[in-house]
Amino acid sequence: MNYTRAYYKKRLKPIPIYLLVIILSLVFISPFLIMVTTALKTNADAFELPVKLFPRKIIWSNFPEAMEKIPYMRYMMNTVFITVLSIGGQLISTPMVAYSLAKIRWKGAPIISSLIIGTMMIPYTVTMIPLYKIWSGLGMTNTYIPLIAPTFFGSPFYIIIMRQFFAGLPNSLMEAAKIDGAGEFRRYAAIALPLSKPALTTVGIYAFINAWSDYLAPLIYINKTEKLTLSLGLQGFLNQYSVDWTHLMAAATIFVIPVIIFFLFFQRNFVEGIATSGIKG
């Protein structure tokens, strides 16, 4: 009797947790579900009462149609171009700066470190107007330079992640190379960088997602139709009187899928990146 009671107690204890987790998971996943199911509906189906989650008949044609209603491929190419160069920029600049702070003992390192954390607190709206003035003065509006150039100078969040990683590399490796006569750059490029693939991946993924979904910067600098990015281009489905929801959701689905795929593949990097920078920062 006693045994079975304890047994059942142990067995039944996690049930409330499971229930809560399942309900919450359904709630959190439902916007994705609604996005995809709406993309698979006909317009009449989407605007039918009572509202149903699943389409009456699955329609795939919304996807090719959505890609024709706005110059989707064009916007996609623009976005890919910006994204690739941004990732490249971050991967060149971030580890260099982080290396300087973590592995070179020099006078400026503490000052630079606190300045980096300080700049994280500057709201974008404060620097937005002068930056716009500078870039437009240089005739760079409607080019991607204002969007890409800053990535070649390192971003605080990524530098902190990288610095944390470099700090964990044993100094003995660098010192051994130093004795062998390797210069600072050699030690950086031949020892530190190859060892830091996990951290570089993390930075790359963040850079990818941020460039891919950036909205405010393109909104300020890009207004020529053929130059728009996907995030701006999605607004092409809104018009004066109504929103073309089925096609918009189809377009949004294609826009979101790369992000989800990258996330699922590199989930661990995400979680670690946030945990190290969030608590320490």
Partner 1 sequence: MSKPIGIKMKKSERRDNINGFLFALPWIIGFICFSLIPLLTSFYYSFTSFNPVKAPEWVGLENYQYLFKDPLVFKSLKNTLFMAFVSTPINLFIAMLLASLLNSKFKGRGVARTIFFMPSIIPMIAATMVWIWMFDPTYGYINRVLGFMGINGPSWLVNPAYTKWALVLMGTWCTGTTMLICLAALQNVPRSYYESAEIDGANVIHKFFRITLPCVAPVLVYQAVLNMINAFQYFTQVYVIINASSGGGSSNASGGPANSILMYPLYLFNTAFSYMKMGRASAMAWFLFVIVCVLTFIMTKVTKKISNNGMGGE
Contacts of 71 (CB under 8 A, 6+ apart): 225, 226, 233
CB of 58 to partner 1, least distance (A): 18
CB of 147 to partner 1, least distance (A): 12
Closer CB to partner 1, residue 61 or residue 267? 267
CB of 2 to partner 1, least distance (A): 20
d(CA 89, CA 159): 13
Contact 128, 136 (CB under 8 A): no
Q: Which two tokens stand for residue 68?
A: 């024709």
CB of 17 to partner 1, least distance (A): 6
CB of 224 to partner 1, least distance (A): 13
Q: Is 162 exposed, middle or buried (0-12, 13-18, 19+ CB in 10 A)?
A: buried
Contact 245, 66 (CB under 8 A): no
Contact 247, 70 (CB under 8 A): no
Q: Is 20 exposed, middle or buried (0-12, 13-18, 19+ CB in 10 A)?
A: exposed
d(CA 184, CA 29): 49
Q: Is 263 exposed, middle or buried (0-12, 13-18, 19+ CB in 10 A)?
A: middle
CB of 53 to partner 1, least distance (A): 7
Q: Give residue 75's Cα distance to chain centre.
A: 18
- 243 in helix, strand or coil? strand
CB of 67 to partner 1, least distance (A): 15
d(CA 77, CA 158): 25
Q: Which two tokens stand for residue 22?
A: 């399942």
